[in-house]
Protein backbone atom coordinates (compact mmCIF):
# COMPACT_ATOMS: atom_id res chain seq x y z
CA UNK A 1 0.00 0.00 0.00
CA UNK A 2 2.74 2.44 0.91
CA UNK A 3 4.38 1.91 -2.45
CA UNK A 4 1.35 3.58 -4.01
CA UNK A 5 2.07 6.73 -2.05
CA UNK A 6 5.69 7.10 -3.15
CA UNK A 7 4.71 8.72 -6.49
CA UNK A 8 2.44 11.12 -4.59
CA UNK A 9 5.30 12.13 -2.33
CA UNK A 10 7.48 12.77 -5.37
CA UNK A 11 4.66 14.66 -7.05
CA UNK A 12 4.26 16.93 -4.00
CA UNK A 13 7.95 17.74 -4.08
CA UNK A 14 7.81 18.40 -7.83
CA UNK A 15 4.75 20.66 -7.49
CA UNK A 16 6.37 22.71 -4.73
CA UNK A 17 9.62 23.01 -6.68
CA UNK A 18 7.66 24.04 -9.78
CA UNK A 19 5.85 26.74 -7.82
CA UNK A 20 9.04 28.10 -6.31
CA UNK A 21 10.81 27.91 -9.68
CA UNK A 22 8.09 29.93 -11.38
CA UNK A 23 8.31 32.70 -8.79
CA UNK A 24 12.09 32.69 -9.13
CA UNK A 25 11.82 32.89 -12.94
CA UNK A 26 9.50 35.85 -12.58
CA UNK A 27 11.94 37.46 -10.18
CA UNK A 28 14.94 36.92 -12.44
CA UNK A 29 13.36 37.88 -15.76
CA UNK A 30 11.12 40.67 -14.59
CA UNK A 31 12.26 44.18 -13.69
CA UNK A 32 12.49 45.24 -10.07
CA UNK A 33 11.91 48.95 -9.67
CA UNK A 34 9.85 49.58 -6.55
CA UNK A 35 8.54 53.00 -5.65
CA UNK A 36 6.22 54.06 -2.86
CA UNK A 37 3.22 54.72 -5.10
CA UNK A 38 3.48 51.38 -6.86
CA UNK A 39 3.95 49.44 -3.66
CA UNK A 40 1.07 51.00 -1.78
CA UNK A 41 -1.92 48.66 -1.44
CA UNK A 42 -4.73 49.18 -3.93
CA UNK A 43 -7.48 51.35 -2.56
CA UNK A 44 -9.47 52.78 -5.45
CA UNK A 45 -7.25 55.82 -5.77
CA UNK A 46 -7.42 56.77 -2.10
CA UNK A 47 -4.43 56.88 0.17
CA UNK A 48 -4.53 53.75 2.31
CA UNK A 49 -5.66 55.03 5.69
CA UNK A 50 -5.64 52.21 8.20
CA UNK A 51 -4.45 48.68 8.73
CA UNK A 52 -6.55 46.50 6.49
CA UNK A 53 -6.54 43.47 8.78
CA UNK A 54 -9.77 44.52 10.37
CA UNK A 55 -12.26 42.69 12.53
CA UNK A 56 -14.93 41.01 10.50
CA UNK A 57 -18.41 39.66 10.99
CA UNK A 58 -18.77 36.81 13.47
CA UNK A 59 -20.94 35.14 10.83
CA UNK A 60 -17.87 33.82 8.99
CA UNK A 61 -16.90 32.14 12.21
CA UNK A 62 -20.27 30.39 12.41
CA UNK A 63 -19.95 29.20 8.82
CA UNK A 64 -16.55 27.72 9.63
CA UNK A 65 -17.87 25.86 12.68
CA UNK A 66 -20.83 24.44 10.77
CA UNK A 67 -18.41 23.42 8.04
CA UNK A 68 -16.33 21.40 10.52
CA UNK A 69 -19.41 19.61 11.80
CA UNK A 70 -20.65 18.69 8.35
CA UNK A 71 -17.17 17.71 7.26
CA UNK A 72 -17.09 15.22 10.12
CA UNK A 73 -20.44 13.87 8.97
CA UNK A 74 -18.97 13.30 5.53
CA UNK A 75 -15.99 11.56 7.11
CA UNK A 76 -18.45 9.21 8.82
CA UNK A 77 -20.48 8.66 5.66
CA UNK A 78 -17.54 7.68 3.46
CA UNK A 79 -16.60 4.33 5.07
CA UNK A 80 -20.28 3.52 5.46
CA UNK A 81 -20.97 4.07 1.77
CA UNK A 82 -17.97 1.96 0.80
CA UNK A 83 -18.89 -0.91 3.12
CA UNK A 84 -22.62 -0.60 2.43
CA UNK A 85 -23.02 -4.10 1.01
CA UNK A 86 -21.21 -5.64 3.98
CA UNK A 87 -22.73 -3.86 6.97
CA UNK A 88 -26.23 -5.08 6.12
CA UNK A 89 -29.54 -3.89 7.54
CA UNK A 90 -28.03 -3.08 10.93
CA UNK A 91 -25.48 -0.70 9.45
CA UNK A 92 -28.15 0.90 7.27
CA UNK A 93 -30.47 1.56 10.22
CA UNK A 94 -27.54 2.84 12.28
CA UNK A 95 -26.65 5.39 9.63
CA UNK A 96 -30.27 6.46 9.18
CA UNK A 97 -30.43 7.12 12.93
CA UNK A 98 -27.16 9.06 12.71
CA UNK A 99 -28.46 11.14 9.83
CA UNK A 100 -31.79 11.57 11.63
CA UNK A 101 -30.11 13.06 14.68
CA UNK A 102 -28.10 15.40 12.50
CA UNK A 103 -31.12 16.44 10.46
CA UNK A 104 -32.63 17.60 13.74
CA UNK A 105 -29.58 19.84 14.15
CA UNK A 106 -29.89 20.99 10.55
CA UNK A 107 -33.56 21.93 11.05
CA UNK A 108 -32.62 23.79 14.23
CA UNK A 109 -30.00 25.76 12.29
CA UNK A 110 -32.47 26.52 9.57
CA UNK A 111 -35.20 27.69 11.93
CA UNK A 112 -32.78 29.77 13.96
CA UNK A 113 -31.74 31.54 10.78
CA UNK A 114 -28.09 30.52 11.03
CA UNK A 115 -28.07 29.70 7.32
CA UNK A 116 -29.47 33.08 6.41
CA UNK A 117 -26.98 35.58 5.03
CA UNK A 118 -28.41 39.03 5.57
Q: Does 1 bind other proteins (CB under 8 A)?
A: yes
Closest contact distance (angstroms) between CB of 45 and other proteins is 12
Any contact of residue 47 with other proteins (CB under 8 A)?
A: no
Question: C-alpha angle 37/40/45, rounded to 5°?
Answer: 75
Main-chain dihedrals φ then ψ at residue 79, nearest 5 degrees: -65, -30
Query: Does 42 contact other proteins by CB under 8 A?
Result: yes
- C-alpha dist (Å) from residue 34 to 6, 8, 46: 43, 39, 19
The answer to whether the CB of 38 falls within 8 A of the CB of 86 is no
- Provide the sign of the torsion angle of the four alpha carbons 102, 107, 108, 109, taken in this order: positive
Residue 86 binds other proteins (CB under 8 A): yes
Number of residues that bind other proteins (CB under 8 A): 100
According to the binding rule CB under 8 A, does residue 45 interact with other proteins?
A: no
Least Å distance, CB 94 to other proteins, is 5
Distance of closest approach, residue 49 Cβ to other proteins, in angstroms: 10
Amino acid sequence: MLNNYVPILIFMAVALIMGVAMVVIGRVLGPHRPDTEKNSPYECGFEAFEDSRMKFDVRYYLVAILFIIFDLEIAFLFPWAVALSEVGMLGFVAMMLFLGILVVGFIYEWKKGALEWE
